[in-house]
Amino acid sequence: MKIATFNVNGIRSRLSNLLEWLERETPDIVCLQELKAPDEVFPALAIQAVGYGAVWHGQKGWNGVAILARGANPVENRRGLPEADDDSHSRYIEATVHGISVGCLYLPNGNPQPGPKFDYKLAWFERLIRHASTLCDSGQPVVLAGDYNVVPTDVDIYNARSYQKDALLQPQSRECYQRLLAQGWTDALRARFPEERIYTFWDYFRQHWEKNSGWRIDHLLLNPALKPRLADAGVDKWVRGKTNASDHAPTWVRLAA
């Protein structure tokens, strides 16, 4: 079973790229972020036509998350994190698929920092950490996947010095990520490749894709009930190399059975 996360940077602008990737790689479960579209225009029919059921949580203009399942309909457990009734950002959706609980998240960027956007990022992260604790200990297999907007270490970006003041590299952001992992989660890509530089995002500027000047910010976290099934992990870089690509590439894990 292959589970992937993909920040599409606009589901309408990226639909043909998304469908091409789904048909070529046939992931079983997909977490999407940055739909940038209200719920009523989510392209459910086109996605269904290539064999996927979906649940989605969008909004006008930005943010937006969805979970797709090949040959199945995800059963939605929640939309939005607990304690976030006044949060207008669509950044979290959770569903059960093939016996696995799937949390799909789009963590706030937080730039510029310091400032209100960074405060919002850290507050959102704290709510995620509290909710993740119950998921981690549930005894059920859980994957928590998405665009975390955190560069975990200096090995996870092509040039950490250039971005020392960026919200994604701040000690507070990294400390939150480490506290999340300390609950018992496994960062699947880093577990599969303990040393290598692996990137999941290349911005559109200065030919960064062509020069492989990337960042690792899309993560798949497995709880202890799921970790024993981790068989492989990777990044579908070919998707980033297509014309009209998202600035992120699909990032995935393969599970036994």
Partner DNA sequence: ATGACTTACAGGGTAAGA
How buried is 67 (Cβ within 10 angstroms: 0-12 exposed, 13-18 middle, 19+ buried)?
buried
**By CB under 7 A, is residue 244 in contact with DNA?**
yes
Q: Which of 52, 106, 177, 199 is catalytic?
A: 106
**By CB under 7 A, is residue 215 in contact with DNA?**
yes
For the sheet containing 218-222, what is the strand order? 75-79, 92-97, 100-106, 142-147, 218-222, 186-187
**By CB under 7 A, is residue 153 in contact with DNA?**
no
Q: Indicate the residue among 140 and 197 with the shorter CB distance to DNA.
A: 197
Spatial contact of 13 and 34, defined as CB atoms under 8 Å apart? no
Spatial contact of 215 and 200, defined as CB atoms under 8 Å apart? yes
Shortest Å, Cβ 83 to DNA = 20
Shortest Å, Cβ 1 to DNA = 26
Candidate residues 3, 31, 37, 81; the one interacting with DNA per rule CB under 7 A: 37
Spatial contact of 143 and 132, defined as CB atoms under 8 Å apart? no
Distance CA 228, CA 174 (A): 26
**By CB under 7 A, is residue 60 in contact with DNA?**
yes
Give me the phi and psi of 31, to 5 degrees please: -105, 125
Cis peptide before 141 (omega within 30 of 0): no
Distance CA 3, CA 7 (A): 14
Q: Indicate the residue among 13 and 133 with the shorter CB distance to DNA.
A: 13
Respond yes or no: is residue 158 known to be catalytic: no
Respond yes or no: is residue 147 known to be catalytic: yes
How buried is 195 (Cβ within 10 angstroms: 0-12 exposed, 13-18 middle, 19+ buried)?
exposed
Using the contact rule CB under 7 A, the part of the chain among 10-18, 66-74, 79-87, 222-230 near DNA is: 10-18
Counting residues that bind DNA (by CB under 7 A) gives: 32
Q: Which of 28, 52, 92, 147 is catalytic?
A: 147
Q: Which residues between 188 and 207 bind DNA (CB under 7 A)? A: 201, 203-206
Residues that bind DNA (CB under 7 A): 7, 9-13, 34, 36-38, 60-62, 108-109, 111-112, 117, 147, 149, 166, 168, 201, 203-206, 215, 217, 244, 247-248
Residues serving a catalytic function are 106, 147
